[in-house]
Structure 1
Amino acid sequence: MQNRLVLTATVEREEDLRYTPAGIPVVQMWVRHQSRQTAGGFERDVACEIQAVLIGEDARRYAGKLAGNTVTLTGFLSQRSLKNPRLVLNIEYVEFVKG
């Protein structure tokens, strides 16, 4: 079963395009989400900042074009590495929000 996360957020910071030792393009970024959600029948304001990573040809395509933009991201959460349990959003699809 594949579970995907869909999140609309603003790209607060974007690092420069880099390449892994295997030559795979990678862009690291931090995104900020703010919304109003209902939980247990009560509305509440939600805000968070999440580290995200875009890998492959989309990293090359979007490098330098994301910071400051609001985007809808589709992907999955994973830990940063085997030794670092911090969550990272692995982006599979990017859609710019018009506005």
Structure 2
Amino acid sequence: MQNRLVLTASVTREEALRYTPAGIPVLEMWLAHGSRQREAGLDRDVRCEIQAVMVGEAGRKFAGRVAGQVLTFEGFLSQRSLRNPRLVLHIESAEFVKG
């Protein structure tokens, strides 16, 4: 079963590219999303901020290019670690939003 989350958001902060002990690139960032959604027949303003991580060659490709930009991200949610239950978006693909 593959459940994917798609989110359009601006990158409010981008960390420096780092590498795991195995040499895998990791790019961490924080995203801000805002939209109007329909719920129970009513319009609702939605706002959230979420931590995200891009692992592998995609992280290297986007490093230094996303801060302040708006992108559409696709990925999945997972807890930060076994000891930290905070949710993190694991980005599998991203596209810059034109406009």
Same fold (TM over 0.5): yes
TM-score, normalised relative to structure 2:
0.99
Alignment size in residue pairs? 99
What TM-score, normalized to structure 1?
0.99
Over aligned residues, Cα RMSD in angstroms? 0.4
Q: Distance in 1 between matches of 2:53 and 2:24?
A: 12
**1:65 positional shift:** 0.2
Q: Percent sequence identity over matched residues?
A: 69
Aligned to 1:56: 56
Structure 2: give runs of 5+ residues left out of the alignment. Answer: none
SS of the residue corresponding to residue 3 of structure 2 reads: coil
DSSP 3-state at the match of 2:94: strand
- Please report how far the alpha carbon of residue 59 of structure 1 lies from its aligned counterpart in structure 2 after TM superposition: 0.5
Secondary structure at 1:68 match in 2: coil
Shift, 1:68, TM fit: 0.4
Letter in 2 for 1:53: V
Which residue identity does 2:56 align to in structure 1? G
